[in-house]
Amino acid sequence: MKKAPLYSRSRASASVIEADAAPVASPPGRASRLGAFATRHERRLWAATVLLLVLAAIVFNGSFGPKEPALTFKQIDAAMRQSLDEKPLPSPATKAYDAVIGSVVRVVGLMTEGDDGSDDKANAQAERGVGTGVVIIDNGTILTNLHVINGAKRVKVTFMDGSESEAMVVSTQPQNDLAVLRAKTIPDDLEAATMRSTADLAPGDQVLAVGFPFGIGPSASAGVVSGLKREFRSPEGQQMLTNLIQFDAAANPGNSGGPLVTMDGEVVGIVTAILNPSRQRVFIGIGFAVPIENAAAAAGMPPF
């Protein structure tokens, strides 16, 4: 007898199963399919398993292995102290000196011997006054004290690189004992000092006086601001200076005209006088400087 088909060819009878049809074999299960896949790729699966085990071992050792202990504050402090002992940091005064020294000049007022009424008519040049100046504009504009160059026939300045130049007097401000010079020749790398307002200057602030005391230098002396808005009358009583900065950094004849500098290396004043009740002209702990606002005005510069 002819065997009946499993499915009807017609769409209408496709779902009708003959009662006497042979049983249909069930499709292979998921477990059997995975087993077949494992059989076909056995070597690759073993290699992947080994690789995963190695990676797990590496992660395990990194996570739970011994770690370097964290440094304590005591250890950090000891390391910093050792580093500072091996290479100490420069002091604030040293930093201030390094910042301003390239702008400091030695100022000498010259006169022909015999011009002072003496009998010697030689044409040799004699020093009438020795002081200090500070470059405030890099075209060679220099601030100094008027009394350093007053009465001189010629003015000579010496820059920090050792070069010398004659200088002409541009302007003066007698009420503040200030003079503005302009050097005729200047170094190629001349730098002007940075000036700073005295508006926030206060007693106790550290300052540095840089100059040529008794012609020796450049020399630096550190101290503090002792007071503000002080007055000073010249020994001869001919002039009263007002609105001065009082400081205790050592200053002597020759410091006149030099910069008074903050620990940032910025100029806040021009050293102009020392209180000297004796005739020996030595520093007793009280010096005076003209605020840089007045000094800048003498050079025609705008106020801060």
Contact call for residues 267 and 195 (beta carbons, < 8 A): yes
* pTM > 0.75: yes or no: no
147 in catalytic set: yes
Lowest mean pLDDT segment, chosen from 1-10, 63-72, 119-128, 162-171: 1-10
φ/ψ of residue 281, rounded to 5? 55, 50
DSSP state of 191: -
Of the two residues 62 and 3, the one the predictor is more confident about is 62
Instruction: State the catalytic residue, choosing from 103, 165, 177, 219.
Output: 177
* 112 closest CA partner among 64, 153, 71, 73: 153
φ/ψ of residue 294, rounded to 5? -65, -40
Hey, which residues does 221 pair with through a beta bridge?
A: 209
Tally the domains of the chain. Answer: 1
Lowest mean pLDDT segment, chosen from 80-84, 141-145, 169-173, 204-208: 80-84
98 in catalytic set: no
193-237 pLDDT, tens digit each: 999 999 999 999 999 999 999 989 899 999 999 999 999 987 665
Taking the C-alpha atoms of residue 288 and residue 50, their distance in angstroms, rounded to an integer, is 86
* 132 closest CA partner among 155, 150, 106, 101: 106
Hey, which residues does 168 pair with through a beta bridge?
A: 182
Contact call for residues 204 and 139 (beta carbons, < 8 A): no
Question: Quick one: tokens of 12?
Answer: 């209408």
Residue 207 resides in a domain: yes
Instruction: State the catalytic residue, choosing from 103, 221, 226, 256.
Output: 256
Residue 113 resides in a domain: yes
Question: Quick one: tokens of 10?
Answer: 């017609």
Taking the C-alpha atoms of residue 107 and residue 8, their distance in angstroms, rounded to an integer, is 124
Contact call for residues 144 and 299 (beta carbons, < 8 A): no
137-148 pLDDT, tens digit each: 999 999 999 999
Percent of the chain with pLDDT over 90: 49
Residue with tokens 């926030």: 200
* Confidence band, pLDDT 50/70/90 cuts, at residue 244: very high
Would the pLDDT of 169 be above 70? yes
Residue 278 resides in a domain: yes
* Confidence band, pLDDT 50/70/90 cuts, at residue 68: low
The residues, ordered by sequence, that sit 6+ positions from 181 with a Cβ below 8 Å of its Cβ are 107, 133, 141, 142, 143, 144, 149, 155, 157, 167, 168, 169, 170
Question: Quick one: tokens of 79?
Answer: 């390391």
Would the pLDDT of 55 be above 60? yes
189 in catalytic set: no
Give residue 147's domain range: 98-298
Residue 8 resides in a domain: no
Contact call for residues 122 and 245 (beta carbons, < 8 A): no
User: What is the average pLDDT across 46-62?
Assistant: 69
Contact call for residues 222 and 176 (beta carbons, < 8 A): no
Residue 147 resides in a domain: yes
Would the pLDDT of 34 be above 90? no
- Looking up residue 227, the CATH number of its domain turns out to be 2.40.10.120
Instruction: State the catalytic residue, choosing from 103, 147, 165, 248.
Output: 147
Lowest mean pLDDT segment, chosen from 62-66, 152-156, 217-221: 62-66
DSSP state of 195: B
263-292 pLDDT, tens digit each: 999 999 999 988 876 666 678 889 999 999
* 144 closest CA partner among 295, 30, 300, 274: 295
**Around 6, how many Cα atoms within 13 Å sit in the side-chain half-sphere?**
4
